[in-house]
Structure 1
Amino acid sequence: MLTTEEARLQIEELRKQLEDHNYHYYVLDKPLISDREYDRLMERLIRLETEYPQFLTPASPSQRVGGEPLKGFATVQHYRPLLSLANAFNQGDFIDFNRRVTSVLGKSAEYVIEPKIDGLSIALTYENGVLTTGATRGDGVVGENITQNLKTIKSIPLRLRRSLPLLVIRGEAYMPKDAFNRLNQEREERGEELFANPRNAAAGSLRQLDPRIAASRSLNAYFYEIIYLEGETVGTHWEALELLAELGLPVNREKELVSNIEDGYAYCQEWNEKRASLPYEIDGMVVKVNNLEDQNRLGATAKSPRWAIAYKFPAEQATTVLEDIIVRVGRTGVVTPTAILKPVRLAGTTVSKATLHNEDMIREKDIHI
């Protein structure tokens, strides 16, 4: 029988071990132990927390999946507006963006280029190193409190590797391609409507009132911006990304620091060619002025920052043959027609089926076998 103090020390040690293993597995992609060994540590922690409930905390690795479903989502006022980005579609747009930046700054600028994940924009707040709030972007000023659902994403640390008084960050929650394909296959087998794309699947998963549903969807996340920071200073966006990684937050490895806009455009074109090789969907690249003081000088419009743009990839298209249309009836009686296609590779995925939604869509698009 353990003393109370011995139990407290064992619980703290188990939490540290599990947090470290989560970091190596989900952030670094370098697991240190087998899944079975991890499960044994978790089982030991849960058993001790059950026997000594006075030591149970919301930041414990055992508390990722909450209990009862929520009745609704509360709203969250963002620390500052979470703006959207102006778009760029070609090299001329890059040149114009760079001209506007250098005109205001009176000098050249470094840029950071990052993949634009096709997911759901989120904001997290850590107080004294512990995750306290996670919210959707919403309208940019007010979002929905989805903390319980975001806690189920195992790459998101419930406690930072180093404590800071306050940290507010922005990122993107997403569904990897293989998880999306698996989910749609399961839904098809149950006669349920298919998700159109991983972005919709991720958004739909995180807006479930039951966090156990979100936990079952194999979601992931990347973080790319510090909104507010206490206890530390950074001078550039690149330094901010390095700090986030140091704190144990997942940061995309495919980022690049360039000294001029021409190199930035070339890097975007490089990823346009090989985006299908990524395990998640991206719909472009984000270009940001690196120096944070320069970002402040450039400011923002009512809708978007003047120090960043989103380069949008051309939409991928493919031609195939419609071989059949099957009709499925869901448990609620909803009838969904599904197109059976000659398999074709598109955006890194083999597409052999597509939902046709309803009869009106079939007539509108004049679809025939």
Structure 2
Amino acid sequence: MSSLSGNLLTLYKIKQDGSFRDQQELLHQLRELEAGNAQQRTLQNESQAARDRVHEAAIDHSYEIERDWRQARIGIEVKAIQDKMDRDLTEAPFSYTSNDFYALVHDATRGGEVPALLVAPFVRDNLSGQENADGPHSFRVAIRRKWLQSPWSSDLVSLDGALKRPLISTDVDILHIQRALRDLPVILVYGEVQSSSRVWPALCAWNIVDSPELRSVQVNFPPVPLPGVNQQNPPDSDSILAFEDELGGSTAITAGLIAEWFHLVKYGRIPRLHTLIPVALNSERRVIAAGLAASFEVALERGRVDIVSARVGQASVYLDVGLRAQAISAASQALAATESGTAHAATQSIRRLAEVLDTLGLPDEANRARLALEAAARRAILRNFGWGS
């Protein structure tokens, strides 16, 4: 700006003092000077633009490098996750991811309102892992059909096919299943066939009872020889089917017994399994009754039933299967708790106690129970009017 001002001042002086020729020459010099300045400005602008483009290119290049690195890192993480999922699917005995397996069982059991029944094909120790996985799978059909035919099949939700192969790595496979299903109540039937000669059935249940001591229940059945083991001729189909039916029946009864524990402790439902077993199986009915009587102890401990209801329930179960001595013992304890006045028993439990004592042929004790029933009813009326505790 200073040089331009000086040129204009010179031009002004020439215009006042100089000739026309001098003026023209000076104008020509000014034009050349301005042209040079314009060219210099153009070069400066182009140079700045070039520097800006280089800077922008560097920024873009840096962004592209960061973007490529970020995409590569995401790709590596996705690949690692996919590899882990593939390994889990390969190692797990179920055909789903752990989350999908949980969702499947969760929906089928309505969030754990009913336990799930899972049946794993039995492992044969004379076959390789792949041969066991390929099948044919032993005893699955027999166990499933026996369960579905049982009168108590609605006590569990059968999910046949949820397990794709036998539990070859038995303990680890069970841990896989337990970890995947977490808090859901499950009864798992599995087993092993040893040297094509005998069968080792087993049952594992967890989350059936909300108790640290009973969070997981393991039942190991005694080994059963396969038909025809000690015979020269191979067994016929009838003997094989009879063996499988017996195996399926045993597992169905045991699973039903554990289901009774669940429904009594969780919902207070009176056990009924022992009444659904054929009378001809009297020894089995008595064993089941003993197991059901024990379930009342757990229900009492968890606060699901009061002591009178628990003892009356035990007496009823024992009475149903002809265990008179045990029934009298349980009924006597119920009567003592009722007469003590410290047990807040429901009137229907005391009424049932009187009926049980009558059935046992104990009329005096039955009359005492009816007197206790009248006293309990009187106390209930007084409480309704606010006249008693």
Bigger proportion of residues as helix = 2
Larger radius of gyration: 2
Query: Of the two structures, which has the highest relative contact order with CA contacts closer than 8 Å and spacing of 6 or more?
Result: 1
TM range, smaller chain:
under 0.3
Bigger proportion of residues as strand = 1
TM-score scaled by length of structure 1? 0.26
